[in-house]
Structure 1
């Protein structure tokens, strides 16, 4: 993997050449730095672009490290652990059960019924899997209700809705009029999820982020700016990660 040197720091990055790229594009995420360039770009072109963006690159990688340090991490899915849900950290309670499957319920916190037959070595993996399935199902239900309500009121009806694990996006709306939403939005307050849903629905009418687009968003959600600001500030909160001990 190539790397770019800034002072005493070496920043590794993934380099991709694309037939579709007309200019260089630099993306920084918590897990990687990605550089996409046109096929015709020379090594000198790439080095010059990285040199021009070196200040921004250092600032963004530092910001991502800080966000990663704040991310929600769970070592064990046991009673007392806390799981993010709708903008809050909710307590987990695990109880033995005589069922054959892990059961998840929510009553001011997560109640996990874990079969007595499950081995200690498998317990965390099975509970995590059951939690993820429960959270994704709840998100689908929330999104379906919001799409129906706003879609019918404002005549913004997508061809379909998909819940995905998107790395760089909270949502998208394709030319096929299918709305995609990141399942990690279940960790945000419901009002923030509603903003993400409305944002993508508005792209059914306006494909860009021009004045007409934001005017439509504002007609549906007058306080959209505060909801968007929460999403921008709290990206680190919107995950569920188990740390191997």
Structure 2
């Protein structure tokens, strides 16, 4: 299991008193309490089986606190701030005679809202339009990143698929199809690049040996910085828009 798969880090505490494995999630950390004889592989598998619950629990903890820097707005309207590529970007609303909401981006998000919608509540429709825009543009960003890195070691994926997931950033299938979570659009572009490179390197090396990490470093010498960012902020990004 790779760190790009887990949007959190965890600590293992061995206990002679423990009869079975359990997971403790707090604001400060995710801790796995395990009997002394349980192997690291079994612990990883256990965390994998519980990762959706862990992500949801971390999200609830974060949501119960004050709004953090990259939080989504409570209402999607003129002047709201939208998390995008590690920053908060202002949302501008303009009327249009079009029948559907149109999203543009140029330093700020510009949402063209049909006049009929402006007369009432349009927050939910605008949110869905932004999500649709981000999904579409995430594919373009990933394709550009693949183009930047793939040729160096002939790491060409068969297909690129953008997915909505709450417990995984990316994966590489046995036939070299790579799946990338579109929610990475909320993270800095360098973080998305790390996940893309991580999955491209799995085309050549299917495990997480030292050879694999050396290949990642060949493409991204500072990958550890982006890996750390995901560990620290990943569960918040998973909360989405």
> Would the TM-score normalized by the shorter structure come out above 0.5?
yes
Choose between structure 1 and 2: higher strand proportion.
1
In 2, Cα distance between equivalents of 1:174 and 1:29 = 19
Contact in 2 for aligned 1:87/1:189 (Cα 8 Å)? yes
Q: Which runs of 5+ in 1 are unaligned?
A: 1-27, 31-46
Aligned match of 2:61 in 59, 63, 66? 66
Residue 118 of structure 1: SS of its match in structure 2? helix
Higher RCO (CA 8 Å, separation ≥ 6 residues): 2
In 1, Cα distance between equivalents of 2:7 and 2:225 = 23
Q: Which runs of 5+ in 2 are unaligned?
A: 1-5, 9-17, 31-53
**Residue 226 in structure 1 maps to residue 225 in structure 2:** yes
Instruction: Count how many residue pairs are aligned between Structure 1 and Structure 2.
Output: 195
In 2, Cα distance between equivalents of 1:118 and 1:151 = 44
In 2, Cα distance between equivalents of 1:151 and 1:116 = 45
Q: What CA deviation, in whole Å up to 9, does each residue of 1:177-206 have, x standing for no partner?
A: 100001100011111111010000000111
Task: Specify the alignment match of 1:20 in structure 2.
Answer: none
Residue 80 of structure 1: SS of its match in structure 2? coil
Q: What CA deviation, in whole Å up to 9, does each residue of 1:6-46 have, x standing for no partner?
A: xxxxxxxxxxxxxxxxxxxxxx999xxxxxxxxxxxxxxxx
TM-score, normalised with respect to structure 2: 0.73
In 1, Cα distance between equivalents of 2:71 and 2:238 = 8
Contact in 2 for aligned 1:198/1:217 (Cα 8 Å)? yes
Task: Specify the alignment match of 1:53 in structure 2.
Answer: 22
Contact in 2 for aligned 1:187/1:238 (Cα 8 Å)? no
TM-score, normalised with respect to structure 1: 0.72
In 1, Cα distance between equivalents of 2:193 and 2:127 = 26
Write out the 4+ residue segments of structure 1 that deviate beyond 3 Å after TM superposition: 56-66, 68-71, 119-122, 237-241
Contact in 1 for aligned 2:72/2:83 (Cα 8 Å)? no
Contact in 2 for aligned 1:74/1:240 (Cα 8 Å)? no
Q: What CA deviation, in whole Å up to 9, does each residue of 1:154-190 have, x standing for no partner?
A: 2101111100011211000111210000110001111
Task: Specify the alignment match of 1:240 in structure 2.
Answer: 240
The CA RMSD measured in Å over matched residues stands at 2.5
Offset, 1:48: 3.8
Offset, 1:84: 0.5
Residue 110 of structure 1: SS of its match in structure 2? strand
| Distance change (3 Å), C-alpha of 1:79 and 1:154 | same
